Amino acid sequence: MLPFARITIIGLGLIGSSLARAIRAEMPTARVTGHDADPAVRETARRIDLCDDITDTAGASVTDADLVVLCVPVRAMGAAAAELADDLPADAIISDVGSCKADVLAQLVAALPGRTIIPAHPVAGTENSGPEAGFATLFKGRWCIVTPPADADPVAVERVAELWRRVGADVETMDPAHHDLVLAVTSHLPHLIAYTIVGTASDLENVTQSEVIKYSAGGFRDFTRIAASDPTMWRDVFLANKDAVLEMLQRFSEDLSALQRAIRWNDGDTLFNLFTHTRAIRRSIIEQGQDDAKPDFGRAH
């Protein structure tokens, strides 16, 4: 039995369009309705037959939905929810895909008081965006973290979890605030570092733009991939998860200072021990199937 029969996706970028494709591939009898605030995106979605129906208003997209998934930037969640509130069926479940959960939950509860809200975060993505960037297998073998409020209906939580299992994700349940702390370390801080390194390299007066690009065959190239991620989404992530990001950034700054001291004082033992430890973490990520062990990340040359 399907967890949901009529699913509405609000926001048809990379994640929203991938979810639509995955549902149609794995649950072909479920009806998928889509809406995006951008008319050009709606037109593209219609042209590529992304959903069973694409509506011009958010309200029209949810009139018969039993699940609504908000796939918009995290700071836009409350406004998106408010836009469809008057047309939302009483028994519909509202979820999302944002990478900040405590702030998003607060926005949704304020916009939709008394409704069943089960936030979730599929930990998947690429640096590309837009409805044509999505693909049905994006979530296969990736984690989706479901972050229900403390008083959530267990049946509703399980239905949302089952949807993500159906599209190939491994599901974990987590407290929203704890999720934000974990993701500040594993996702948000790495993105902030990537943006900073790429920005610093482009600003160096004694290194021309062409040289940065020409010699980017090493680690810098991989930072540029992360730094190419959607700017609106990541601006909102850092502001919505401000407290956790600042806490992790302070810890990182302290560790970076310790590393700076080790280099200044030729403390090879400290450097070797750190690099040995971080190498073991990389091996653990590969062993858990979260990345490819092939040389150069499996790139073809």
pLDDT single digits (tens) 128-154: 888 999 999 999 999 999 999 999 999
Examine the pLDDT at 182 and tell me if it is beyond 70: yes
Domain 178-265, CATH: 1.10.3660.10
List, for residues 185-199, the tens digit of each pLDDT value: 888 888 888 888 888
Between CA 218 and CA 224, with CA 222 as vertex, the angle to 5 degrees is: 115
Q: What burial letters (b/e) apply to 194-227, b meaning 16+ CB within 10 Å?
A: bbebbeebeeeeeeeeeeeeeeeeeebeebbebb
pLDDT beyond 80 at 250? yes
Quick one: what percent of the chain has pLDDT higher than 70? 88
Instruction: Assess if CATH 3.40.50.720 describes domain 6-174.
Output: yes
In this prediction, residue 293 carries a pLDDT of 57
74 alpha-carbon distance from chain centroid: 10
* Chain centroid to CA 264: 38
The whole-number average pLDDT for the span 20-34 is: 97
> What tokens appear for 272 in the block?
């070797």
- Which of 98-102, 176-180, 202-206 shows the lowest per-residue confidence on average (mean pLDDT)? 202-206
- Report the predicted TM-score, pTM, of the whole model to 2 decimal places: 0.82
Cα distance between residue 198 and residue 223, in whole Å = 7
Predicted pLDDT of residue 77: 96
At residue 225, the pLDDT reads 78
Domain range summary for the chain, segments of one domain joined by +: 6-174, 178-265
For the cut 70, the answer to whether the pLDDT of residue 218 exceeds it is no
pLDDT band at 101 (very low <50, low <70, confident <90, very high): very high
Q: Please give the Cα distance from 192 to 213 (Å, whole number).
A: 20
**Is the model more confident about 281 or about 60?**
60
Question: Across residues 158-162, what is the average pLDDT?
Answer: 98
Tokens 């704890």 belong to residue: 178
Give the pLDDT confidence score for residue 151 in this predicted structure: 94
Checking if the pLDDT of 61 tops 60, the result is: yes
- Between the alpha carbon of residue 231 and those of residues 26, 224, 270, the distances in Å are 31, 13, 36
Q: Which residue has the higher pLDDT, 118 or 300?
A: 118
Tokens, residue 223: 């930072």
The per-residue pLDDT for 301 is: 46
Task: Report the alpha-carbon distance of residue 236 to residue 250 in Å, rounded.
Answer: 20
Q: What residue has token string 């979530």?
A: 139
What average pLDDT does range 234-241 have in this prediction?
Answer: 89
Flag whether pLDDT at 291 surpasses 50.
Answer: yes
Interval 224-229 mean pLDDT:
79
Q: For residue 81, count other CB atoms closer than 10 A to its CB.
A: 26
Q: What is the mean pLDDT of residues 67-87?
A: 96
**Residue 121 pLDDT grade (very low, low, confident, very high; cuts 50, 70, 90):** very high
The reported pLDDT for the residue numbered 205 is 54
Please check the confidence at residue 107 and state whether its pLDDT lies above 50. Answer: yes
Name the amino acid, one letter, at 62. Answer: V
Q: Strand 53-54 vs strand 31-35: parallel, antiparallel, or unpaired?
A: parallel
Residue 208 has pLDDT above 70, yes or no: no
The residue with tokens 């733009």 is 209
> Does the pLDDT at position 122 exceed 80?
yes
Residue 263 has pLDDT above 50, yes or no: yes
CA distance 72 to 61: 15
Query: Angle at Cα 68 formed by Cα 67 and Cα 73, nearest 5°?
Result: 150
Mean pLDDT of the chain: 89
Residues whose CB falls within 8 Å of the CB of residue 94, separated by 6 or more in sequence, listed in order: 67, 68, 70, 81, 88, 108, 112, 115, 116, 117, 118
Q: Does the pLDDT at position 72 exceed 90?
A: yes
